[in-house]
Structure 1
Amino acid sequence: MRIVFMGTPDFAVPSLRALIEGGYDVAAVVTQPDRPKGRKRELTPPPVKEFALERGLPVLQPERMRAADAVEAVAAYRPDLIVTAAYGQILPKAVLALPRLGCVNVHGSLLPKYRGGAPIQRCVMGGETVTGVTLMYMAEGLDTGDMIARVEVPITDEDTAGTMFGKLSRAGAALLTEWLPKLADGTAPRVPQNDAEATYAPNLTREDERIDWSGTAREVFNRVRGLNPMAGGFTFWNGEVFKVWSCRIPQESDKRLRPEWEKLTPGSVLETGPFGIRVRTGDGSVVLTDVQPAGKKTLPASEFARGARLAPGTVLG
């Protein structure tokens, strides 16, 4: 069984590793082109490319998988099966038709919920307590193909999008490993998705990263951890972008607002101290614990508040 693997970020690496360590014939790896990253905008290869080259595998990086030359390049490897995991492009019909055993995808949600490019971040931002991975056959629609198997993974309050990426990538690799023998002999099941239950997880926009202080404390908390460590939530302080990388909801005994805080608008700083920066929300407050002022490095919120002399009543946002 010749396999062509398609994936791009760290999430995809465990699945590729599972194929290699399982003794499968990975004929080639397809990933996104190198992109500029960081303040210096240096051209950086995707994690999947780095891993594939370390293992001596051929790597293809088409700008557009729909381009005729990209399809021809994949076809040249005569794959029996194509496996994708967070590749980042929708495969055209011409590619889907190439392998005799079909194309399967390791998707980071419990389909049909959270179809789309940012299922893990959206799950955390949405306050879900359970998510998972779905192994599915690929179709021309957006994550609409028949399901092979699913596995659930809990989300705790200590989790961020980053920790869930790690948990789900490992769960996805294990699920793929479990079902590869049945994919190889053509006996893997096909369970149609219920489109009526579908929800969507589009890629995040800049506006998704902005903190809405008028929301509940739980909503603010979920948004911030759902954006960690990819982008971080942001608000404004002194007219400049002010990032929030982590926060917490006050303990039950400390949730009640003082009378003088009740009249303050959401986004107002209530108090600062060794614990961090307490900020008013629509229904209470959250405590910022790690922040990043414009042009600076991330630092503890308590340290920032002390150095900036952040006064109670200051409004963020």
Structure 2
Amino acid sequence: MKIAFMGTPDFAVHSLNVLIEEGMNVVCVVTQPDRPQGRKKVLTPTPVKAAAVEHGIPVLQPQRMRNPESIAELAAYEPDLIVTAAFGQILPKAVLDLPRLGCVNIHGSLLPKYRGGAPIQRCIINGETVTGITLMYMAEGLDTGDMISKIEVPITDEDTSGTLFAKMSEAGATILRQELPRLLEGKVDAEPQNDDESTYAPNLTREDEQLDWSKTSRELYNQVRGLVPFSGGFTLWNGEVFKVWKMSKPATDVTLTGAALDAKPGTVLDLSPEGIVVRTGDNTVTLTEIQPAGKKALKASEFVRGTSMTKGTVLG
């Protein structure tokens, strides 16, 4: 059996390792081109490429998988099965039709919910308490293929996108290991998705990172967790970007009175050793890790000791 693996970030590495550990004949790995990373813009291979090179597996890095040259390069390996996990490009029908056992994808949600490029982040932002992995056959639509198997993953209040990505990566590897024998035998009873139950999880934009203080404390808390560690949330202070990397979990037993009750959302109510207390649409949140413009991220408790920010400052 010849297997081609397609993936790019850390999320996909565990699944590639499963194929290697199970002694599969991984004839090639397809991943995104090397990209500049960091302030010095050092050209850096993807995590999947690094894993493939370590195991001596040939690596293909097409700019566009739709190009005839890219398709021909992959076809030359004559894969019986293609396994994908967060590859980052939509596959054309010519690629989907290559392997006789089909193309399967390890998708980071319980389909048909959260089709699209950012299901893990969107689950946290939307306040979900459970998500999961769906192993599915790939089709021409966006995450619309028949479902092979699912595994649930709980989301805790302490999870960020970073911690949930790690959990989901492990779950993806588990489900692939469980289903691999059936996939190779071609004995899979797949279930069609119910399109009426589908939701969409588009890639995050700059607008998704901006904090709207008129939202509830819980909504803001979920938003920041869903953006960490990739971008964090941001607001404005003195006309400049003021990033928020961490908030304390919203208290449920706090009742606002007096000036705090009348303050507009975004108003700084207190600068305390615990952090920066900000009025929200329904109550308050405490910012505990922040990053002023042009500075490094730091604990809010350190920031308040030498800042010109005062009570009554309005963020946003």
Distance in 2 between residues matched to 1:237 and 1:17, nearest whole Å? 46
Question: Alpha-carbon deviation of 1:265?
Answer: 1.1
Distance in 2 between residues matched to 1:129 and 1:205, nearest whole Å? 23
Say whether the 8 Å CA contact 2:112–2:199 is kept in structure 1. yes
Distance in 2 between residues matched to 1:129 and 1:36, nearest whole Å? 35
1:259 alignment counterpart? 258
- Aligned pairs for 1:101-112 (under 5 A) are 101-112=101-112
1:292 alignment counterpart? 291
Deviations 1:143-169 (A, max 9, x none): 000000001010010100100000000
Deviations 1:184-233 (A, max 9, x none): 00111210000000000010011111111110001000000000001111
Say whether the 8 Å CA contact 2:243–2:290 is kept in structure 1. yes
Distance in 2 between residues matched to 1:151 and 1:90, nearest whole Å? 24
Q: In terms of mean alpha carbon deviation, does 132-141 or 301-310 score higher? A: 301-310
Q: Is 2:313 the counterpart of 1:314?
A: yes
Question: Alpha-carbon deviation of 1:105?
Answer: 0.2
Q: In terms of mean alpha carbon deviation, does 37-46 or 130-139 score higher? A: 37-46
Deviations 1:217-258 (A, max 9, x none): 0100000000000111111111111111110234334x2223
Say whether the 8 Å CA contact 2:122–2:201 is kept in structure 1. yes
Q: Is 2:154 the counterpart of 1:188?
A: no
Deviations 1:109-152 (A, max 9, x none): 00000000000000000000000000000000000000000010
Say whether the 8 Å CA contact 2:217–2:250 is kept in structure 1. no
Q: Is 2:239 the counterpart of 1:248?
A: no
Distance in 1 between residues matched to 2:15 and 2:63, nearest whole Å? 23
Question: Alpha-carbon deviation of 1:260?
Answer: 1.0
Tell me, what secondary structure is at the counterpart of 1:306?
coil
Tell me, what secondary structure is at the counterpart of 1:222?
helix
Say whether the 8 Å CA contact 1:269–1:312 is kept in structure 2. yes
1:122 alignment counterpart? 122
1:169 alignment counterpart? 169
Question: Alpha-carbon deviation of 1:77?
Answer: 0.6
Say whether the 8 Å CA contact 1:249–1:285 is kept in structure 2. no
Per the normalisation by structure 2, the TM-score is: 0.98
AA partner of residue 201 (structure 1): A
Per the normalisation by structure 1, the TM-score is: 0.98
Distance in 2 between residues matched to 1:96 and 1:249, nearest whole Å? 45
Distance in 2 between residues matched to 1:94 and 1:306, nearest whole Å? 61
Report the aligned-residue RMSD: 0.9
Question: Alpha-carbon deviation of 1:177?
Answer: 0.6
Question: Alpha-carbon deviation of 1:44?
Answer: 1.6
Question: Alpha-carbon deviation of 1:42?
Answer: 2.0
Tell me, what secondary structure is at the counterpart of 1:308?
coil
Q: Percent of pairs identical after alignment?
A: 66
AA partner of residue 282 (structure 2): D
Question: Alpha-carbon deviation of 1:37?
Answer: 2.0
1:156 alignment counterpart? 156
Say whether the 8 Å CA contact 2:218–2:250 is kept in structure 1. no
Tell me, what secondary structure is at the counterpart of 1:122?
helix
1:301 alignment counterpart? 300
Tell me, what secondary structure is at the counterpart of 1:252?
coil
Report how many residues are paired.
Answer: 316
Tell me, what secondary structure is at the counterpart of 2:305?
helix
Unaligned runs of 5+ in 1: none
2:78 alignment counterpart? 78
1:226 alignment counterpart? 226
2:275 alignment counterpart? 276
Question: Alpha-carbon deviation of 1:309?
Answer: 3.5
